[in-house]
């Protein structure tokens, strides 16, 4: 039995450490630990609820915006604010583009190098690469001369001996299986995606001022619309939105989705490896105006892979344990608490740094253990896609079926490392397409002279009740996200957050039920523990965000009777 440590886990957000036992080239047991803590919920206490979105947005700026959206929803829920249609459309447009941007960057810049050997691309035949590219899609950058240029650049780069971010990569590892031409295509798209992402981020800046960290507002959006002004969202900016949206969609449809399928086709064994806990949860997101329960990506819960039996999600069934995390409860340490009823005091009991290993039999992480109906669940793109599939979402079904058919696998293949990666690309295609509907409606409203983006009716704290409870839910790129707020006398009395990565990266609960990361890693082949590319494949398929996962709850002693309203 070999004890293996991966720290830092790179190509993620934040500070994640994986410890594992490896026996005969197979990972037998894994422990995931978040090793950084800030305490943002404590910081927002006693502040103006209208300011909180700005604070909690900095929980994580990779999925930048989703915490802000969950926060303004929580405050609006508490105060009974219904935002105007343009405000809702702008939020959907920002959140949708964020999802597209985040997923594409995740695939190329955080995940692809688990499958793509950049040094092997030097052996590619550029004519073959060109033919292959043309068979995959009608992406225009496909002629042999283009691939020759990329190859020459790559050759010069590697020849310089300075590999920079690619230094000490696992190049030449036996787990890499792609033909040289696919490697070359992927390298080209890695670079294309890096240029693409800065360009399409303009879409969000036009509405929210900047990216990362665009601006939001309790009551709607602080987006001034005025066709007669050069200082507001005018015709020229609305046209630039159209151009950047088209640019985004083209890349998703012609490059990202086809690449995922092309690369996945060379790794069939990874449709059988890396399943998590088999339970899935989504709170759902992308609301329709005036239709409270209509969400483009629906919520729900799936138990034990039963896709055709999706249960409704209810936030009341969420609870959290701290038995294996560096926190204490004031009463029963072994009992789970609902976020509205929870409490946490950080108390580090791990080894003193510098250390070689964590005490994995005791507490070993800043990440808590959320459970739904006392069971572990997986959240994220795979959960959303499975739930949408189970609920009969037409477009998601078509895309999933297209993907599985092309890979020659059944739906069971979705419960895997590549299943997560495929699901992420599927929902990106679906959302990119839906964006046009929101965009067109928004443009129609503006054309009709509707420039209202926010309601100021309940802006002033004197219009608020003395006490109010609210819940704001959102689907972050990495999965279901919930913010719980209690407002008292115009200030934040309590604030709590349960985040996507907290669900997935959680340590075991007192029943010994492990979280999705640790479950998914069991059985992973590890050819060389010093070069754990196989482990990274599965970890990256979740798209970890550790700054999100780690947070502290305030003491809350009041049960929630708040109705959860989406948005």
Partner 1 sequence: MNSERVERNLDAAFESVGVSRRDFMKFCGAMTALLGLPPVFTARVARALENRMPFVKERRPSVLWLNLQSCTGCTESFTRADHPSVAEAVLNMISLDFNETLQAASGTEAEAACEAAMKENHGKYILVVEGSLPAADSGRYCVMCGKTGETFLKKMAGGAACVIALGTCAVYGGLPAASPNPTDARSIDDAVAPAAVVKIPGCPPIGDVLMATIVHYLFFGRLPSLDSEKRPRFAYGKFIHEQCRRHYHFENAEMSTSFDDEAYRGGYCLFPMGCKGAFTKNACTVIRWNMGSNWCVGAGHPCVGCSEKDFWDKFTPFYALAEGRNPQ
Name which of residues 191 to 210 contact partner 1 (CB under 8 A).
191, 194-195, 197-199, 201-202, 204-210
Choosing from 3, 8, 25, 138, the residue that interacts with partner 1 (CB under 8 A) is 8
For residue 259, the SS3 value is helix
Site residues for partner 1, 42-101, by CB under 8 A, read 42-43, 47-48, 50-51, 54-55, 58-62, 64
Q: How far is the CB of 8 from partner 1 (least distance, A)?
A: 5
Q: Which residues contact 44 (CB under 8 A, 6 or more apart)?
A: 51, 52, 55, 56, 492, 495
Backbone angles phi, psi at 205, to 5 degrees: -60, -35
What is the rounded distance in angstroms from the CA atom of residue 423 to the CA atom of residue 417?
10
Query: How distant is the alpha carbon of residue 446 from its chain centre?
Result: 31
What is the rounded distance in angstroms from the CA atom of residue 534 to the CA atom of residue 27?
10
Q: How far is the CB of 399 from partner 1 (least distance, A)?
A: 28
Does 2 interact with partner 1 (rule: CB under 8 A)? Answer: no
Strand locations in 512-558 (E): none
Closest to partner 1 by CB, 195 vs 308, is 195
Site residues for partner 1, 145-174, by CB under 8 A, read 149, 153, 156-157, 160, 162-170
Closest to partner 1 by CB, 197 vs 428, is 197
Closest to partner 1 by CB, 70 vs 426, is 70
The half-sphere exposure of 393 on its side-chain side, counting CA atoms within 13 A, is 26
Site residues for partner 1, 429-468, by CB under 8 A, read 451-456, 459
What is the rounded distance in angstroms from the CA atom of residue 426 to the CA atom of residue 400?
7
Site residues for partner 1, 519-548, by CB under 8 A, read 530-532, 536, 547
Closest to partner 1 by CB, 224 vs 334, is 224
Q: How far is the CB of 506 from partner 1 (least distance, A)?
A: 19
Q: How far is the CB of 304 from partner 1 (least distance, A)?
A: 32
Q: How far is the CB of 234 from partner 1 (least distance, A)?
A: 11
Handedness of CA 287, 455, 58, 192 (dihedral sign): positive
Does 222 interact with partner 1 (rule: CB under 8 A)? Answer: yes
Does 225 interact with partner 1 (rule: CB under 8 A)? Answer: yes
Closest to partner 1 by CB, 372 vs 464, is 464
Choosing from 158, 213, 238, 307, the residue that interacts with partner 1 (CB under 8 A) is 213
What is the rounded distance in angstroms from the CA atom of residue 54 to the CA atom of residue 564?
22
Measuring CA to CA, which residue among 66, 433, 485 is closest to residue 283?
66
Closest to partner 1 by CB, 15 vs 316, is 15
The count of residues interacting with partner 1 (CB under 8 A) is 107
User: In terms of C-beta distances under 8 Å and separation of at least 24 residues, what long-range contacts does 109-113 make, across chains too?
Assistant: 109/11, 109/190, 109/193, 109/194, 110/11, 110/12, 110/540, 110/543, 111/11, 111/421, 111/540, 111/541, 111/543, 112/186, 112/190, 112/263, 113/11, 113/166, 113/169
Q: How far is the CB of 237 from partner 1 (least distance, A)?
A: 8
Tokens of 71: 């926060």
Site residues for partner 1, 112-141, by CB under 8 A, read 113, 118
Closest to partner 1 by CB, 255 vs 277, is 255
Closest to partner 1 by CB, 123 vs 236, is 236
Does 303 interact with partner 1 (rule: CB under 8 A)? Answer: no
What is the rounded distance in angstroms from the CA atom of residue 528 to the CA atom of residue 523?
14
Stated length of the chain = 567
Angle at which helix 66-79 crosses helix 85-105, to 10 degrees, equals: 150
Window contacting partner 1 (CB under 8 A); options: 139-147, 213-221, 330-338, 367-375: 213-221
Does 350 interact with partner 1 (rule: CB under 8 A)? Answer: yes
Closest to partner 1 by CB, 113 vs 473, is 113
Q: How far is the CB of 95 from partner 1 (least distance, A)?
A: 16
Choosing from 65, 96, 180, 220, the residue that interacts with partner 1 (CB under 8 A) is 220
Does 334 interact with partner 1 (rule: CB under 8 A)? Answer: no
Does 179 interact with partner 1 (rule: CB under 8 A)? Answer: no
Does 236 interact with partner 1 (rule: CB under 8 A)? Answer: no
Q: How far is the CB of 345 from partner 1 (least distance, A)?
A: 10
Choosing from 268, 346, 510, 525, the residue that interacts with partner 1 (CB under 8 A) is 346
Site residues for partner 1, 359-378, by CB under 8 A, read none
Q: Is-cis flag, bond preceding 8, omega within 30?
A: yes
Say which DSSP state 61 is in: S
Vertex 379, ends 378 and 384: CA angle to 5°?
A: 120
Q: How far is the CB of 118 from partner 1 (least distance, A)?
A: 8
Angle at which helix 381-390 crosses helix 417-447, to 10 degrees, equals: 80
Does 35 interact with partner 1 (rule: CB under 8 A)? Answer: yes
Q: Which residues contact 167 (CB under 8 A, 6 or more apart)?
A: none
From residue 335, give the alpha-carbon distance in Å to each of 33, 341, 462, 555, 556: 21, 12, 39, 15, 15
């Amino acid at each position: 039995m070999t004890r293996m440590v991966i720290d830092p886990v790179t190509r993620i957000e934040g500070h994640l450490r994986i410890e594992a036992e490896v026996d005969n080239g197979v990972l037998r047991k894994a422990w995931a630990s978040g090793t950084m803590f800030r305490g943002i919920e404590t910081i927002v206490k006693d502040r103006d609820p209208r300011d909180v979105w700005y604070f909690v947005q900095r929980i994580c700026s990779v999925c930048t915006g989703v915490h802000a959206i969950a926060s303004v929803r929580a405050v609006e829920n508490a105060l009974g604010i219904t935002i105007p249609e343009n405000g809702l459309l702008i939020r959907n447009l920002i959140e949708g583009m964020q999802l597209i941007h985040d997923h594409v960057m995740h695939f190329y810049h955080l995940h692809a190098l688990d499958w793509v050997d950049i040094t092997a691309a030097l052996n590619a035949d550029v004519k073959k690469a060109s033919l292959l590219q043309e068979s995959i899609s009608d992406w225009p950058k496909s002629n042999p001369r283009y691939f020759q240029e990329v190859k020459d650049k790559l050759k010069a780069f590697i020849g310089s001996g300075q590999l920079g971010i690619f230094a000490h990569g696992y190049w030449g590892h036996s787990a890499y299986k792609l033909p040289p031409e696919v490697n070359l295509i992927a390298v080209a798209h890695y670079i294309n995606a890096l240029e693409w992402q800065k360009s399409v981020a303009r879409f969000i800046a036009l509405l929210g001022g900047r990216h990362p960290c665009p601006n939001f507002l309790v009551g709607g959006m602080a987006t001034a619309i005025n066709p007669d002004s050069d200082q507001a969202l005018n015709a020229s900016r609305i046209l630039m939105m159209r151009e950047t949206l088209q640019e985004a969609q083209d890349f998703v449809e012609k490059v990202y989705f086809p690449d995922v399928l092309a690369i996945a086709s060379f790794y069939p064994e990874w449709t059988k490896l890396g399943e998590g806990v088999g339970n899935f949860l989504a709170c759902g997101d992308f609301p329709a105006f005036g239709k409270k329960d209509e969400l483009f990506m629906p919520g729900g819960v799936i138990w034990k892979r039963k896709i055709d039996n999706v249960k409704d999600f209810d936030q009341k069934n969420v609870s959290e344990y701290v038995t294996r995390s560096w926190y204490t409860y004031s009463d029963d340490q072994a009992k789970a608490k609902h976020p509205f009823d929870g409490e946490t005091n950080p108390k580090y009991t791990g080894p003193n740094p510098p250390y070689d290993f964590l005490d994995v039999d005791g507490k070993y992480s800043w990440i808590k253990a959320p459970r739904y109906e006392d069971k572990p669940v997986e959240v994220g793109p795979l959960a959303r896609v499975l739930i949408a599939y189970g609920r009969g979402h037409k477009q998601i079904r078509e895309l999933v079926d297209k993907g599985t058919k092309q890979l020659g696998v059944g739906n069971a293949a979705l419960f895997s490392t590549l299943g997560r990666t495929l699901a992420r690309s599927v929902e990106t295609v679906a959302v990119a397409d839906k964006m046009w509907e929101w965009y067109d409606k928004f443009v129609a409203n503006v054309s009709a002279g509707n420039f209202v983006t926010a309601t100021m009716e309940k802006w002033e704290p004197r219009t608020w009740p003395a006490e109010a409870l609210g819940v704001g839910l959102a689907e972050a790129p990495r999965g279901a996200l919930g913010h719980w707020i209690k407002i008292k006398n115009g200030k934040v009395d309590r604030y709590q957050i349960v985040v996507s990565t907290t669900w997935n990266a959680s340590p075991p609960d007192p029943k010994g039920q492990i979280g999705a990361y640790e479950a998914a890693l069991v059985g992973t082949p590890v050819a060389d523990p010093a070069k754990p590319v196989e482990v990274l494949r599965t970890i990256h398929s979740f798209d970890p965000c550790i700054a999100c996962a780690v947070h502290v709850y305030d003491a809350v002693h009041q049960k929630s009777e708040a109705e959860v309203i989406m948005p």
